[in-house]
């Protein structure tokens, strides 16, 4: 057994051969999964495993708002509800109906745009147009 050198007393510790490292608990000594290494594993389909940046999130919100605005702006090509009602009233005025029936038709059109839409969908020269108006008047007066 080697004895201590005459210049170094036996109670003085030798310097460590490796630099001092923080001691780990036994459970940390052999990492078996990525959870024990301290690194987070992200999931959720971001491709490369990174969280999208704030800039990417802002761009996604901006794109979504543009899509909503475009969807709202698309349906402005046709006549508005008041315009369709006015066109239907003009069509009723051209019909050979008594004034009392025309007034009832106007009241129906005023209350329900769908009556105006159906009336306008029937061709101008089609006799079914007047029959439709009379049927609507009858359906609403018997209720």
Q: pLDDT tens digits for 114-130?
A: 999 999 999 888 889 99
Crossing angle for the helix pair 113-121 and 128-141, to the nearest 10 degrees: 160
pLDDT at position 63 is 81
Residue 69 in any domain: the answer is: no
Residue 120 within a domain = yes
Over residues 72-89, mean pLDDT: 81
Q: What pLDDT, on a 0 to 100 scale, did the predictor assign at position 2?
A: 53
> Domain for residue 29, yes or no?
no
90 belongs to a structural domain:
yes
Model confidence pLDDT, tens digit, residues 20-78: 566 555 555 555 544 555 566 555 555 566 777 888 888 888 888 888 777 766 666 77
Domain holding 128, by residue range, is 81-141
* Residue-level length of the chain: 143
Q: Is residue 71 part of a domain?
A: no
Q: Is residue 18 situated within a structural domain? A: no
Report if residue 106 sits inside a domain: yes
Work out how many domains the chain is built from and give that number: 1
| Least confident residue range of 13-22, 32-41, 90-99 | 32-41
Instruction: Assign 90 a pLDDT band (cuts: 50, 70, 90).
Output: very high
What's the pLDDT score for residue 41? 57
In a domain? residue 111? yes
Alpha-carbon distance 63 to 82, whole Å? 33
């Amino acid at each position: 057994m080697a004895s201590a050198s005459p210049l170094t007393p036996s109670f003085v510790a030798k310097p460590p051969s490796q630099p001092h490292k923080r001691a780990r608990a036994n459970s940390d000594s052999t990492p078996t999964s990525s959870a024990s290494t301290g690194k987070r594993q992200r999931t959720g389909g971001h491709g490369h495993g990174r969280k999208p940046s704030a800039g990417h999130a802002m761009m996604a919100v901006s794109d979504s708002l543009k899509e909503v605005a475009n969807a709202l702006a698309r349906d402005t090509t046709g006549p508005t509800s008041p315009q369709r009602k006015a066109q239907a009233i003009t069509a009723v005025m051209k019909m050979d109906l008594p004034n009392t029936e025309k007034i009832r038709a106007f009241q129906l059109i005023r209350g329900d745009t769908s009556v105006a839409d159906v009336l306008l969908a029937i061709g101008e020269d089609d006799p079914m147009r007047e029959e439709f108006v009379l049927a609507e008047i009858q359906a609403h007066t018997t209720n």
